Amino acid sequence: MAQGVLVITEQIEGAFRKVTYEALSEGKQTAAALKCGTAAVVLGHGITDIAEQLGTYGPDTVWVADDPALKEYTVDAYANVVSDLVRREDPAVILIGATTQGRELAARLSARLEAPLAMDCVALRVDEGNVTATRPMYGGKVLADLALKGNPCIIAVRPNAMAIRKSEGAGTVEKIDVNVGDAAIRFVEKQLEAEKTDLTEADIIVSGGRGMGGSDFSILEALAEVLGAAVGASRSAVDEGWRPHSDQVGQTGKVVSPNLYIACGISGAIQHLAGMSSSKVIVAINKDEDAPIFAKADYGIVGDLFEVVPAITEAVKKLKAQI
Ligand SMILES: Cc1cc2nc3c(=O)[nH]c(=O)nc-3n(C[C@H](O)[C@H](O)[C@H](O)COP(=O)(O)OP(=O)(O)OC[C@H]3O[C@@H](n4cnc5c(N)ncnc54)[C@H](O)[C@@H]3O)c2cc1C
C-alpha cells in the first residue's frame, strides 16, 4: 500500500470502538481523493476473527497483529509494532481515533517516525493532493485548517465528529509478524467501569453542574435513561466529589461531540465550553437568564432544573409511549 492511507483501529475486549469506523470511513474517502488504497491495522490477542468486521467499511487490506504481548495496550509495544508496519508499508496518511489511547500512541508514533501530527481533528479534505485537517483551537473558539507536510502525516480524529459510511470491497485479512521489541512499560492491572457508555462516544449527553446542589444526580440519570444518554458533569460537580473525574467534560476532562448535549445548572465557563462546543445541538437549562451557556446553546430554558428536567423526562416518556 505504498503511499496509501493506514487506519490504526482500537478495540476493547474484542469490540471495535465507534471512532474506528469513523476513522476508517474518513480514511476511505481520503484515499479516494488521493487515488490510493486504504489499509487498517488491528492489534491485540485473539482478535483475528474480529478483523473481518472491518470489511464493510472498505479497507483493501486489514493487517492483524495478534500476539499475547499485545493483549493489553501499552504504548511501547503498540508503537513498536505499528512503526515496523509503517516503515514496511510506507503509508502517506495515518488516521487514528483521538481517544486516550489513540492520543498517546499518535504522539509516540509522531516522535518515532518524525511525522507531523494533527490532534483532535473534526474534518479532513484533500487539496491538490495534500491533506488538510481541521481542528478546533483556543477552547473551540476557532477552527484551524492545518496543512500537513511530511510523509507519513498522522491525523487523530475526534470521536463522534465524522460520519460512518459503509463501503464496497471486502479487503484481505493478513497476519503480520509481531516483534514488540523492548518495552519499558509493563501492564499491571485494568479496571473497567462496567456498563458505562464512554462519554466521547455517546450520542446524547445530559450533564450537571454546580446547580445540581449535591451528589444526587437521579433526575439527570432518569432523563438520560429515557433518552439513551450518558451522564456528564462540569468540573465544579467533579471537584465537589459529586461525580467521578471520568464524567468531567471540558478542558481538563473529556472533549465530546454528541448529537445532543443538555447542560443542566452549568454556567458555561470557557473551560467547560472547550469540551462540548462541537456538540451538534446544545440545550441549556439554567435559572440565570444571563448565564454564558445561553450564548452557545441552540435552545435555552430559563428555569429551575429541578422542575424542568423531570418535566422533560415525563414528556419524552409520553412521546415514546405513542410510538
Ligand atoms: C485550568 C482550568 C481548567 C478547567 N477545566 C474545566 C473542565 O474541564 N470542565 C469544566 O466544567 N470546568 C473546568 N474549569 C472550571 C471552570 O472555570 C468553571 O469553574 C466550571 O466549569 C464551573 O462549573 P459550573 O458551571 O458547574 O458551576 P458554576 O459556574 O457555579 O455555575 C452553576 C450554574 O448553575 C446555575 N444554577 C444554580 N441552581 C440552579 C437551578 N436550580 N436550576 C438551574 N440552574 C441553576 C447557576 O445559575 C449557574 O449558572 C477549569 C478551570 C481552570 C482554571
CA of 161 to the centre of ligand 1 (A): 25
Asked whether the beta carbons of 20 and 97 are under 8 A apart, the reply is yes
Question: Is the CB of residue 235 below 6 angstroms from any atom belonging to ligand 1?
Answer: yes
CA of 272 to the centre of ligand 1 (A): 7
User: What is the pLDDT at residue 190?
Assistant: 84
User: What is the pLDDT at residue 311?
Assistant: 98
d(CA 45, CA 177): 13
Question: Is the CB of residue 239 below 6 angstroms from any atom belonging to ligand 1?
Answer: no
Residue 219: CB atoms within 10 Å: 20
CA of 113 to the centre of ligand 1 (A): 40
Asked whether the beta carbons of 185 and 108 are under 8 A apart, the reply is no
User: What is the pLDDT at residue 194?
Assistant: 65
CA of 280 to the centre of ligand 1 (A): 21
Asked whether the beta carbons of 252 and 275 are under 8 A apart, the reply is no
Question: Is the CB of residue 61 below 6 angstroms from any atom belonging to ligand 1?
Answer: no
User: What is the pLDDT at residue 42?
Assistant: 97
Shortest-distance atom of ligand 1 to CA 267: 49
User: What is the pLDDT at residue 2?
Assistant: 59
User: Closest residue (by CA) to atom 11 of ligand 1?
Assistant: 234
Pick from 50, 46, 48, 45: nearest CA to 70: 45
Which residues sit opposite 173 in a β-bridge? 62
Question: Is the CB of residue 236 below 6 angstroms from any atom belonging to ligand 1?
Answer: yes
How would you class 87 by CB atoms within 10 Å of its CB: exposed for 0-12, middle for 13-18, buried for 19 or more?
exposed
**Residues of each annotated binding site:** 210, 234-235, 248-252, 265-272, 286
Walk along the chain (323 residues) in steps of 10 and give the mean pLDDT of each run.
87 93 96 94 94 89 95 95 96 96 97 96 92 90 91 95 84 91 87 78 96 98 97 98 96 94 97 94 98 97 98 97 88
Question: Is the CB of residue 139 below 6 angstroms from any atom belonging to ligand 1?
Answer: no
CA of 43 to the centre of ligand 1 (A): 39
User: Closest residue (by CA) to atom 51 of ligand 1?
Assistant: 271
User: What is the pLDDT at residue 17?
Assistant: 94
CA of 265 to the centre of ligand 1 (A): 8
Pairing of strands 172-175, 123-127: unpaired
CA of 208 to the centre of ligand 1 (A): 9
**What's the fold here for domain 199-322?**
Rossmann fold (3.40.50)
User: Closest residue (by CA) to atom 47 of ligand 1?
Assistant: 288
Residues of the chain with CATH 3.40.50.620: 5-175
Pairing of strands 281-286, 299-302: parallel
Question: Is the CB of residue 254 below 6 angstroms from any atom belonging to ligand 1?
Answer: no
User: Closest residue (by CA) to atom 28 of ligand 1?
Assistant: 267
Shortest-distance atom of ligand 1 to CA 288: 47
Across 142-272, where does the E strand assignment appear? 142-147, 153-157, 172-175, 204-208, 230-233, 260-264
**What's the fold here for domain 5-175?**
Rossmann fold (3.40.50)
Q: Which residues of 98-132 are buried (b: 16+ CB within 10 A; e: fewer)?
A: bbebbbebbbbbbeebebbbbbbbbebebeeeebb
Shortest-distance atom of ligand 1 to CA 285: 43
CA of 157 to the centre of ligand 1 (A): 27
Strands across the sheet with 204-208, in order? 230-233, 204-208, 260-264, 281-286, 299-302
Residues of the chain with CATH 3.40.50.1220: 199-322
**Residues of each annotated binding site for FAD:** 210, 234-235, 248-252, 265-272, 286
User: Closest residue (by CA) to atom 49 of ligand 1?
Assistant: 267
